[in-house]
Amino acid sequence: MTRLAAVDPGVHGCGVAIFDGGTLIEAHYTCPSRNPFHKSEHTCGGGGNYARAHCTAREALAVMGWVDDLIVEHMFKYPGMDKINVNDLLDVQTVAAMIAASHSGAISVYPPQWKGNVPKKIMTARIKKLLTPKEQYLLEVGDWPKSLEHNVVDAIGIGLWRLGRLK
């Protein structure tokens, strides 16, 4: 069986989905500030962007464990989105690169590749609809704040796309 990790990277935390044999077996929102071993959110951020990125990447890698396949979303600035600060995207991409560097076979995927230009609400509904009842249960029992669930759902969507379950 092939074990796949799919990651939706972020500056402060990552959505991580683990699939085994094509089935979602774990879903996480990893965040250094939610880890009891970190004294505070500033423990990682005190060293600047790279230190924060390292801590965020390390949290994602800790839940992934050993995987055969790794796919990480690559940041993308959509045309016409002039209000987006490119520096913010670069910070997220630093986290993505640190995670990807942990696996020699890691691949990246741009958002338009796996989800096209489908609005977030519609894509979230599509992803959830593709999940089996056991897979849906993982979202129901997740201990992440509801406001951050979109990161987990995106990671699941990236994994489903990689597995050919999301078209």
Q: Decide if 100 contacts 72 (C-beta within 8 A).
A: yes
Q: Domain map of the chain by residue range?
A: 3-163
Give the per-residue pLDDT at 37: 57
**pLDDT per residue of the chain (167 residues) written in tens, 0 to 9:** 699 999 999 988 999 999 999 999 999 999 877 665 555 444 565 567 888 888 889 889 999 989 999 999 999 887 777 777 888 889 999 999 999 999 999 999 999 999 999 999 999 999 999 999 999 999 999 999 999 999 999 999 999 999 999 98
Q: pLDDT (tens digit, 9 = 90+) per residue, 112-134?
A: 999 999 999 999 999 999 999 99
Give the per-residue pLDDT at 85: 81
Does domain 3-163 bear CATH number 3.30.420.10? yes
3-state secondary structure the chain: CCEEEEEECCCCCEEEEEEECCEEEEEEEECHHHCCCCCCCHHHHCCCHHHHHHHHHHHHHHHHCCCCEEEEECCCCCCCCCCCCHHHHHHHHHHHHHHHCCCCCCEEECHHHHHCCCCHHHHHHHHHHHCCHHHHHHHHCCCCCHHHHHHHHHHHHHHHHHHCCCC
Q: Decide if 165 contacts 129 (C-beta within 8 A).
A: no
Distance (Å, rounded) from C-alpha 78 to C-alpha 37? Answer: 37
**What global pTM score does this model have?**
0.90
β-strand pairing of 69-73 with 107-109: parallel
Give the per-residue pLDDT at 33: 72
Give the per-residue pLDDT at 32: 79
